[in-house]
Amino acid sequence: MTDLTDLTVADIRDGFRAGNFSAREVAEAFNSNVAAAKALNAFIVETPEKALDAADAADKAKAAGEPLGALAGVPIGMKDLFCTLGVQTTAASHMLEGFVPTYESTVSGKLWAAGAGMLGKLNLDQFAMGSSNETSYFGNVISPWRRGGGDNAALAPGGSSGGSSAAIAARLCPAATGTDTGGSIRQPAAFTGISGIKPTYGRCSRWGIVAFASSLDQAGPMARTVRDNAILLEVMSGFDPKDSTSLDLPVPQWEANLSSDLRGKKVGVPKEYRPDGLNAEIAALWDRGIEWLKDAGAEVVEVSLPHTQYALPTYYIIAPAEASSNLARYDGVRYGQRDLPDGAGLQDMYAATRAAGFGPEVKRRIMIGTYVLSAGFYDAYYTQAQKVRALIARDFELAFEKCDLLLTPTAPSASFALGEKQADPLAMYLNDVFTVPASLAGLPAMAVPGGLDAAGLPIGLQIIGKALDEQTVLNASLAIEERASFTARPDKWW
């Protein structure tokens, strides 16, 4: 019998419906993989009983001939940025250690309503701030991948959705939720040889997701196949009147409309994404990607996104500015940690609580955000950044007059060793160079694995689409998936 944990979401869904196995068998198989993978530190909280409860409910519904939800029988992992009713939600911070929400986020609620079960809360960079999963209060997530040739260095699973990416790559869950502010779904997907999509800003409700940067945060799925991403995204998307920035649009049938036939589509290749010194293996994969899309029937054109080089600095003004304000609510008054030194007044309590509750990267970003919004600097930094952001969005609009989608690398390199970039925040920020522009413009973008580098580590490609055109993004990604035939998986060492 095949190992159930090697199955995709679609396989599990269909196999369960066909009676090939029970939902409980699936949940138990994943639960035992989770339990055996402590070395990866992918989960902050494991909830095997939740996975079993959902599985039993699915089995019971099936036996009774009741209608089954789109994800009946499918257990998944939940990034610990989504508030889950009755289950500790920490954003990987000490600040929220012990916080048990009395409410369920809209997106997680939709997944449970569709029959999915929760295997646990996945580790991440603290408050989703990081690209290597080294900022979690609950310890680093270790990538299941290792370099070839007996190099046992612990590698980064990417960030901030590093628990999600590691868990999927290691077959601890068939799929997971992620959130993406500047690349937090796509870069970890690329580092671990899986795929993940950040939909158009406003597709998925932000209600109940611990906020990092409101104008950029967007939830999305992560899984091993493009089809699985389509299945999850359909469940996660949809209008939510509780989120003012939610789009009041019907959810397309992305899975049913999957097609890798790209005839009639024009693929733009932005020249600014090929700077001097681009990693040769990444550049070579990008060229292969161009050939694959041509092979699928697409026409390839060169386009220009002239403000690309300003995307990262723009992001590192806007995201910290929003974060400095979004994280002001963590003050030790209503929930979470409180640090009250002897004789401390209210304001002292705030300063002590926040000093103890936030990690160094979170503090750094709050301070940068506070500075760029402070009196006398607001226009020079924040207003200027929002203007450049408008120019970046216009670059995309103009490019999309010439093409239907863009093909770029996802990250500038394969995964790196933990600790390697930690000393220099700027070097870490540069990891998001290819993912941040689409975030600033709110566009749908997907990471899909393309192959392995010389060290045997996954590297990936990114498809960026027009606003609301997730279908084309998924279809082009499918075309790459079919041609890349990426079947590599990490050898189990944990």
Partner 1 sequence: MTESTYRIQGATGEWEVVVGLEVHAQVTSNAKLFSGAATAFGAEPNTQVSLVDAAMPGMLPVPNRECIRQAVRTGMAIEAQINKWSRFDRKNYFYADLPQGYQISQLYHPLVGEGQIEIVLDEKNPESSTKTIGIERIHVEQDAGKLMHDQHPTRSYVDLNRSGVALMEIVSKPDMRSPAEAGTYLSKLRTILRYVGSCDGNMDQGSMRADVNVSVRKPGEPFGTRTETKNVNSVRFVMAVVEHEASRQVDVLEAGGTVVQETRLYDPDRNETRSMRSKEDAHDYRYFPDPDLLPLELDDAFLEECRQSLPELPDAKRRRYEQDLGLSAYNAATLTADADTARWFEALLAEGARIQKKSEGEVAKASANWLLSELYGALNRLGKSLEESPVSPEEGAELLALVADGTISGTIAKQVFEIMLETGDKPAKIVDEKGLKQTSDTGAIEAAVDKVLADNAEKVAQYKAGKEALFGFFVGQTMKAMQGKANPQVVNELVRKALG
Partner 2 sequence: MSIDLQTVKKIASLSRISVTEAEAEAMVPELNNILGWVEQLGEVDVTGVEPMTAVIPNRQRLRDDVVTDGNVRDKVLANAPQAEHGFFAVPKVIE
Nearest-CA neighbor of 229 among 413, 10, 22?
10
Partner from partner 1, partner 2, none contacting 29, C-beta within 5 to 8 A by type: none
Task: Specify the residue, 438 or 476, whose C-beta has the smaller distance to partner 1.
Answer: 438
Task: Specify the residue, 294 or 394, whose C-beta has the smaller distance to partner 2.
Answer: 394
Binding of residue 332 to partner 2 (CB under 8 A): yes
- DSSP characters for 386-425? HHHHHHHHHHHHHHTTT-SEEEEESSSSS--BTTSSTT-H
Residues 463 and 406: beta-carbon distance below 8 Å:
yes
Binding of residue 428 to partner 2 (CB under 8 A): no
Binding of residue 396 to partner 2 (CB under 8 A): no
Give the DSSP H/E element, type plus range, for residue 448.
strand 445-452
Q: What would the x/- binding string for partner 2 be over residues 194 to 213, using CB under 8 A?
A: ------xxx-----------
Partner from partner 1, partner 2, none contacting 321, C-beta within 5 to 8 A by type: partner 1
> Which of 18, 63, 426, 487 lies at the binding interface for partner 2 (CB under 8 A)?
426
Residue 361: both structure tokens together? 């990267």
Residues 88 and 99: beta-carbon distance below 8 Å:
yes
10 Å Cβ neighbour count for 485? Answer: 8
> Which of 314, 410, 472, 477 lies at the binding interface for partner 2 (CB under 8 A)?
314
Task: Clarify whether 215 is annotated catalytic.
Answer: no
Site for partner 2 in 142-201 (CB under 8 A): 200-201
10 Å Cβ neighbour count for 69? Answer: 21
Cα gap 432→411, rounded to integer Å: 7
> Which of 301, 367, 398, 454 lies at the binding interface for partner 2 (CB under 8 A)?
367
Smallest gap from Cβ 127 to partner 1, in A, equals: 10
Cα gap 239→185, rounded to integer Å: 21
| CA atoms lying within 13 Å on the CB side of residue 284 | 8
Smallest gap from Cβ 210 to partner 2, in A, equals: 14
Residues 179 and 128: beta-carbon distance below 8 Å:
yes
Binding of residue 422 to partner 2 (CB under 8 A): no
Site for partner 2 in 289-308 (CB under 8 A): 307
Task: Specify the residue, 16 or 429, whose C-beta has the smaller distance to partner 2.
Answer: 429
> Which of 283, 371, 422, 471 lies at the binding interface for partner 2 (CB under 8 A)?
371
Please give the distance of CA 132 from its chain centroid, rounded to a whole number.
12
Of 22, 50, 62, 79, which one is the catalytic site residue? 79
Site for partner 2 in 83-122 (CB under 8 A): 98-100, 102-103
The conformation of residue 131, written as its DSSP 8-state character, comes to S
Nearest-CA neighbor of 106 among 206, 217, 179, 245?
206
Residue 165: both structure tokens together? 């990416």
Partner from partner 1, partner 2, none contacting 441, C-beta within 5 to 8 A by type: partner 2
Partner from partner 1, partner 2, none contacting 378, C-beta within 5 to 8 A by type: partner 1
Task: Specify the residue, 335 or 494, whose C-beta has the smaller distance to partner 1.
Answer: 335
- Residue 299: strand pairing partners: 266
Of 143, 161, 184, 205, which one is the catalytic site residue? 184
Partner from partner 1, partner 2, none contacting 322, C-beta within 5 to 8 A by type: partner 1
Task: Clarify whether 413 is annotated catalytic.
Answer: no
Task: Specify the residue, 20 or 370, whose C-beta has the smaller distance to partner 1.
Answer: 370
3-class secondary-structure state, position 479: helix
Owner of token pair 């612990």: 154
Residues 198 and 180: beta-carbon distance below 8 Å:
yes
Smallest gap from Cβ 378 to partner 1, in A, equals: 7
Task: Clarify whether 439 is annotated catalytic.
Answer: no
Binding of residue 366 to partner 2 (CB under 8 A): yes
Mark residue 189 as left, alpha or beta (left: phi above 0; alpha: psi -120 to 50; beta: remaining). Answer: alpha
> Which of 112, 254, 316, 486 lies at the binding interface for partner 2 (CB under 8 A)?
316
Partner from partner 1, partner 2, none contacting 306, C-beta within 5 to 8 A by type: none
Smallest gap from Cβ 204 to partner 2, in A, equals: 12
Partner from partner 1, partner 2, none contacting 494, C-beta within 5 to 8 A by type: none
Smallest gap from Cβ 243 to partner 1, in A, equals: 5
Cα gap 363→369, rounded to integer Å: 10
Binding of residue 251 to partner 2 (CB under 8 A): no
Name 193's Cβ contacts closer than 8 Å, sequence gap at least 6: 145, 169, 449, 452, 458, 460, 486, 488, 489, 490
Q: First-to-last CA distance in the chain?
A: 23
Cα gap 52→25, rounded to integer Å: 9
Task: Specify the residue, 128 or 142, whose C-beta has the smaller distance to partner 1.
Answer: 128
Burial 464-483 (b: 16+ CB within 10 A, else e): bbbbbbbbbbbbbbbbbbeb
Binding of residue 384 to partner 2 (CB under 8 A): yes
Task: Specify the residue, 86 or 241, whose C-beta has the smaller distance to partner 1.
Answer: 241
Q: Please state, in angstroms and as integers, the Cα–Cα distance from residue 189 to each residue in 102, 314, 321, 375, 441, following that order.
A: 31, 24, 27, 39, 21
Binding site for partner 1 (CB under 8 A): 83, 89, 91, 96, 99, 101-103, 105, 206-211, 213-215, 241-245, 321-322, 324-325, 327-329, 331, 333-335, 346-347, 350, 370, 373-375, 378, 382
> Would you please indicate which residues are annotated as catalytic (active-site) residues?
79, 160, 184
